[in-house]
Amino acid sequence: MTRRILALVPLGDAAIADPFAAVAAATDTATRHGLHSGAMLLGRPGYIDDAAMLAAQEGAAEITLVTHPGLDDPPLIEQMLALFTNLLGGEQEPLLLILPGGVIGEELAARLAARLDAVPLGRCSALALDGAAVTAHRPAYGGSAELVLTTEAPRCIAVLRRPAEPPAATTEPAVTQRMLDIALPSDTPRPTVQPAAADRPRRVDAARLVVSGGRGMGGPEGFAQLRELATLLDAATGASLPAVDAGWAGVSQQVGQSGAFVAPDLYLAVAMSGTPQHLAGIARRSRIAAINADPEADIFRVAEIGLAAPWQEVLPRLIERMRDD
């Protein structure tokens, strides 16, 4: 049985940090099984102009550009659900649908599973196909364990991150355009966007450098110093779950299995132990530098450079040196 592997890509919402990661992941999965991947790109007309080219760069062989004149900016999840369901509901071919990581991709995957009668596989680290069977590898227990699941259901939906190796681009993809005019849900509540506070932290999931603090910071004072260092490094400030829980950093700064997934060039971990739950939110390709008072801390097992001393002694000196540049 040949299963169609299709990335579903919502466009035009800045909350989805890397929408085309789903296309790269679909291509990676398809290529490993000698198949081609497809991509269904959904957005307002202005957002799909360059989308086919970007999907081809991620290796999609069949690209469908879908738009609807009534889409909000950004599109509401209910609108995306209605359109994807309309397009895929009558599909007879077995499907493996792949959505991008993050809160919107994950909600879409779960709710589409209910509408399409598909098996939701969750946030997977790898997928394998063998005849009618799909095998999914998925982190569990906060990233401390791996669960292997299998299903022969004709429709499956997974969320996947960008693969470590970039896929080969497609030079001549088959591109089709669909302008749908179905009725969109009209009773969906529209969120209002709060005005951004002047001191709102930089976005952690799109930063090239991240300076992050953990439980060992001991209070908000340490985070003030982290923010100062981050400013000097042109970096975003992140935090572990316990630090967010304690109120030393905002919920949008939380990195880890249950927070943002970040892929900076360098991740500076300060006063954090390096739990699997936290490390699961940092891309494998990111390099890690660590400062921790405990030379036996697990974070040093994954860092490439380490400074074993209390942050209270290190950060002021480091800030002073960076200021002198």
Partner 1 sequence: MEVIVLIAGVVDPKWRLERLGLRNGTEQPDESGLPRRLSPFDEAALETALKLQEADPSVRVTVAVPGDAGSDVLLRAAMALRPHRAFRFDTAGAPPWDPFAMARMLGAAVDAAGLPDLVLAGREFGDGDDGVLLPLLAEMRGWSFCGQAHGLALADGAMVARRMRGPREEVIRLPSPALVSVTNDRSNRLRHPLMKNVVLTRRAAIEVVAMPCDEKGRTLHACSLTVVPPAQRGAGSCRMLEGPLDAQVAEFAAYLRGWRDGAVR
Residue 176 lies near partner 1 (rule: CB under 8 A):
no
Nearer to partner 1, 175 or 266 (CB): 266
Axis crossing angle, helix 311-323 with helix 220-233, rounded to the nearest 10:
30
Axis crossing angle, helix 77-88 with helix 103-116, rounded to the nearest 10:
40
8 Å CB contact between 210 and 235:
yes
Tell me which residues in 48-67 interact with partner 1 (CB under 8 A).
none
- What the block records as the tokens of 106 is 């994950």
Contacting range for partner 1; rule: CB under 8 A; set: 22-30, 56-64, 98-106, 161-169: 98-106
Residue 21 lies near partner 1 (rule: CB under 8 A):
no
Q: How far apart are CA 291 and CA 265, in angstroms?
A: 17
Residue 44 lies near partner 1 (rule: CB under 8 A):
no
* Cβ atoms within 10 Å of 196's Cβ, excluding its own: 7
Contacting range for partner 1; rule: CB under 8 A; set: 29-37, 87-95, 169-177, 270-278: 270-278
Tell me which residues in 75-94 interact with partner 1 (CB under 8 A).
none
Tell me which residues in 233-252 interact with partner 1 (CB under 8 A).
233-235, 241, 244-247, 250-252
For residue 109, the surrounding DSSP H or E stretch is: helix 103-116
Q: How far apart are CA 138 and CA 158, in angstroms?
A: 10
Nearest to 32 by CA among 138, 165, 128: 128
Residue 314 lies near partner 1 (rule: CB under 8 A):
yes
Residue 205 lies near partner 1 (rule: CB under 8 A):
yes
Q: How many CA atoms lie within 13 A of 113 on its CB side?
A: 17
Residue 321 lies near partner 1 (rule: CB under 8 A):
yes
Nearer to partner 1, 31 or 252 (CB): 252
Nearer to partner 1, 148 or 179 (CB): 148
Q: How far apart are CA 108 and CA 118, in angstroms?
A: 12
At its nearest, how many Å lie between partner 1 and the CB of residue 174? 31
Residue 287 lies near partner 1 (rule: CB under 8 A):
yes
Site map 104..123 versus partner 1, x via CB under 8 A: x-xx-xxx-xxx---xxxxx
Q: How far apart are CA 99 and CA 314, in angstroms?
A: 42
- What the block records as the tokens of 231 is 């400013």
Contacting range for partner 1; rule: CB under 8 A; set: 20-28, 46-54, 56-64, 189-197: 189-197
Residue 182 lies near partner 1 (rule: CB under 8 A):
no
Q: How far apart are CA 307 and CA 290, in angstroms?
A: 6
At its nearest, how many Å lie between partner 1 and the CB of residue 11? 14
- What the block records as the tokens of 66 is 């879908």
At its nearest, how many Å lie between partner 1 and the CB of residue 307? 5
Nearer to partner 1, 169 or 319 (CB): 319
Residue 221 lies near partner 1 (rule: CB under 8 A):
no
37-42 and 4-10 beta bridge pairing? parallel
Q: How many residues bind partner 1 (CB under 8 A)?
A: 97
- Burial letters 284-296, b for 16+ CB under 10 A, else e: eeeebbbbbeeee
- What the block records as the tokens of 301 is 């097992």
Kindly state the greatest CA–CA separation across the chain: 65
Find the binder of partner 1 among 57, 135, 231, 312 (CB under 8 A).
Answer: 135
Q: How far apart are CA 240 and CA 257, in angstroms?
A: 10
Nearer to partner 1, 41 or 76 (CB): 76
At its nearest, how many Å lie between partner 1 and the CB of residue 62? 27
Residue 69 lies near partner 1 (rule: CB under 8 A):
no
Site map 138..157 versus partner 1, x via CB under 8 A: xxxxxxxxxxxxxxxx----
